Every structure is written in C-alpha cells, then in structure tokens.
C-alpha cells in the first residue's frame, strides 16, 4: 500500500475517533444552547445565563457559548460581564487564526463540525459592534472607539473579501468616532453605510436617518407595498434648535434565523418591525432598518457555498479513497460499512450560528428634550399596528448634546 494512501486512512481513522468522541459532548452542548435560547426569547434571562454557565463546554463551541452568553448578559444590563464574554470570544478567534493541522485533516475527511466555531464574517463584525454598545452604555467612549476601529478593519475588503458588508456596525463605528471628536472618520462610516442601504438614507455629516425615495419599476410605479411600506409621519423638521439635543437609540428587534434553516430561509419571510420613540406625550421620531441578519445569513451562505464546493468534492473523493482502501484490505462488506459511516452518518453540514442575535437591527436618531431621563419605545409592525410598548430609562449616556441608548425586544420567542 502506498504511503499516501496509508496516511489518508490514518487521517480518516483519527478524524472518525475525534468525531465519535465529539458527538457525545456536542449533543449535550447543543441541548444546553437550545435550552438557553428558548429561555432567552421567553424572557427568562437569568435561567438562560445559568444554563450557559453550568457544565463543561467543548472547546470547539467555546466561542459560540461566549457569544450567546454575552448577548444574554447584555439584555440583562450586565454590560461589564457581557463585554468580558465578547472580548474573550474575540481573543479566542485571534488564536484560532492559526490553522490546526489535526482538525483540518479531520474536517477534510469527515465534516466541518469538528472544527472550532468561528462564526460567519458578519457575526464576527457584530461581536465588535455589540461590545461597542456595552462601552457606550457605560460612557466609555474611548473603549467604544477601539471597537469601532476593529469594526472598520473587519469590514475592509482584504478581511471581508466578497462576503456582505454590514451597515449597522458601520453606523455604530461612526457614532463611536463622532463621540471622540473624530468627525471626518465618523462621516466616512456614515457615508459607507448610506451607500450600502437602499431604503434608508444617512446624512454623513450629521448621522441622521430618513426614508429614501422608493425606486420605480419598469411600469413607472413604485414597488409593492410589502417591500416599501408607507412610512409614518416624520417629526416636524423645524428650526435647528429642535436638534440642540439628540437621542441615538440602537434597537434590536425580532429573532434571527436558526442555524438549521435552509439556504435563504427567512430572508423575505415576514415584514420588519419598526419602533416609534416618544418622550412623555411628545413623538420624537422613528427607527430605521439598517441591517437584517436573515438577509446577511442568506448572502453569506451563497458566497460560502461557492467557496466550499471544491472542498466538498475533495472530501468526497477522500472518503471514497478510504472506503476503497478498506475494501481492498478486508472485503466488500467492510468497504460498504465504511461508506455508510463516512457518508451516511458523518457527512453533516455545520449549521452552528449565533442564534440570540436579533433579526432586525435598527437605528433611531431623533431630537430630544434637554432633561430627557427616559423614553418610550412603541414597537409596531410594517402596517403601523402597535405590538408592544416599553418604558426605557437605562442605559442612557450623555456626551455634550448627544444622548446614547439601546434597546432589545425579546418577546416570547418571536
């Protein structure tokens, strides 16, 4: 038998052993993740946190656990604990950039589930964006600017390649730079986000948002109502003194797609929510959809499918080579059994993803009363029907005439 074939069989045997042991641990890990996610979307935040804290975590899922727990802690208002989780996840991702030879060989022969979870490119960018939100919630402007620079680096062409850009993170980077008195670089991020968006316009000089004019189809009429819903009335655009104080709210609405959903699933299903912002009996303005994680997921999977095609062909060829080698050394039955294990049991796609991310990422930038200490969020569907109402008094941080806040809507699994 050739040396190359012996090495291939050895790689397959080691990989099979890794997977068999890994599956025993991953079943428990997956159950804990699903339990924590159910608790999170049902509003049982403490139970979700406890589930993600208890028990051992397979090393290959450590980054994912940290992402999920950081999201739960952020929703609980534990911004320091959330940042610790997100930063630890980032540090692990940096370490994982060093390629693992043993796990790389095993994944070639078996599947990518044995590899460490590193998330999709947009998830890694949002890791920095949510960390920046935690810093903004505590008034740590310089720390938020550090994450802004990491966002910009992760979205650079050499890092992102042909995966989708992510305007919500761009906006957070722009605001963080604006808050440390770097208006030119802030404007660059606002402008880049504006160029990505179609239905929303962002003024690069002020960061203010507004509806774009709906495009016309070939008949000279506007697109369908679902794609371009009629916006509610805007607050009066009066004299500039109405904007002497501004409130910027980052709103996270809905539930992102689950990891096992098929390619493109959920990207067009359902109409996006939006939120109105009120202070007392005064309507301040509304939020605007900046990123949709379902759409980002679908676009990422299309790019990834093209990238993975050659690898999949190579993996199938390697598995068949192992089966043929076993068959030649033993018998046809042994070869068929090997094929059943390698193709039937172990050829499973890696569907792990950061599932506590919201579906719709919104930004509201509205004029605010000088003495603002709380505001009301009225969550509405695309037709303007009120779904839920919340009173928000934290976090609200002020820097000069700019107030910053964020809000997560987690209503019972929606």
Full set of structural domains in the chain with CATH: 3-210+241-408 (1.25.40.10)
Answer with the residue of higher pLDDT: 223 or 192. 192
> Residues 131-186: pLDDT tens digits?
999 999 999 999 999 999 999 999 999 998 899 999 999 999 999 999 999 999 99
Q: Quote the DSSP letter at residue 271.
A: P
* C-alpha Rg value of the chain to the nearest Å: 24
CA atoms within 13 A on the CB side of 250: 29
Contacts of residue 218, Cβ cutoff 8 Å, sequence gap at least 6:
none
Give the integer Cα–Cα distance in Å for 170 and 105: 36
Give the integer Cα–Cα distance in Å for 298 and 170: 20
Would you state the structure tokens that stand for residue 264, as one six-digit string? 């493109």
Residue 292, CA distances (Å) to 256, 267, 328, 361 in order: 8, 8, 52, 6
This prediction's pTM: 0.78
* Cβ neighbours, 10 Å, residue 234: 12
Judge contact between 23 and 12, C-beta under 8 A.
no
pLDDT at 106 over 50: no
Q: pLDDT averaged over the chain?
A: 80
Cα 77 to its chain centre, rounded Å, is 19
Task: Classify residue 65 as exposed, middle or buried by CB count within 10 Å of its CB (0-12, 13-18, 19+).
Answer: buried
> Residues 304-343: pLDDT tens digits?
776 665 555 555 556 556 656 666 676 666 655 555 555 4
């Amino acid at each position: 038998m050739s040396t190359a074939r012996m090495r291939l069989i050895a790689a397959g045997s080691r990989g099979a052993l890794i997977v068999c042991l890994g599956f025993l641990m991953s079943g428990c890990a997956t159950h804990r993740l699903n339990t924590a996610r159910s608790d999170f979307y049902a509003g049982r935040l403490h139970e979700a946190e406890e589930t993600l804290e208890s028990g051992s975590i397979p090393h290959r899922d450590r980054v994912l656990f940290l992402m999920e727990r950081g999201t739960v802690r952020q929703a609980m208002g534990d911004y320091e604990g959330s940042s610790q989780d997100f930063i630890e996840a980032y540090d692990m991702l940096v370490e994982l950039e060093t390629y693992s030879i043993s796990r790389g060989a095993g994944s070639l022969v078996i599947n990518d589930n044995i590899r460490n979870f590193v998330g999709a490119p947009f998830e890694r960018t949002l890791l920095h964006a949510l960390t920046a939100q935690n810093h903004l919630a505590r008034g740590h402007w310089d720390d938020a600017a550090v994450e802004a620079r990491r966002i910009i680096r992760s979205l650079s062409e050499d890092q992102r390649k042909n995966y989708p850009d992510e305007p919500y993170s761009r906006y957070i980077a722009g605001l963080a730079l604006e808050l440390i008195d770097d208006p030119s670089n802030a404007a660059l991020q606002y402008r880049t986000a504006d160029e990505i968006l179609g239905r929303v316009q962002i003024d690069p000089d002020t960061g203010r948002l507004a509806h774009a004019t709906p495009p016309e189809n070939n008949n000279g009429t506007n697109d369908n109502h679902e794609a371009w819903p009629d916006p509610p009335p805007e607050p009066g655009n009066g004299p500039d003194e109405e904007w002497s104080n501004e409130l910027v709210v980052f709103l996270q609405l809905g539930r992102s797609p689950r990891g096992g959903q098929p390619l493109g699933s959920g990207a067009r299903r359902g109409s996006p929510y939006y939120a109105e912002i009120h202070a007392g009996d005064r309507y301040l303005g509304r939020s605007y959809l900046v990123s949709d994680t379902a759409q980002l997921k679908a676009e990422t999977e299309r790019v990834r499918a093209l990238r993975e095609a050659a690898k999949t062909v190579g993996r199938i060829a390697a598995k068949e080579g192992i089966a043929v080698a076993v068959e030649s050394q033993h018998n046809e039955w042994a070869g068929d059994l090997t094929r059943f294990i390698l193709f039937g049991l172990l050829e499973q796609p890696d569907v792990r993803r950061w599932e506590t991310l919201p579906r719709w990422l919104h930004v509201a930038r509205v004029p605010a009363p000088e003495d603002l200490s709380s505001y009301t969020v009225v969550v509405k569907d695309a037709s303007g029907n009120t779904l839920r109402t919340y009173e928000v008094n934290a976090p609200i941080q002020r820097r000069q005439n700019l107030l910053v806040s964020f809000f997560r809507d987690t209503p019972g699994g929606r």
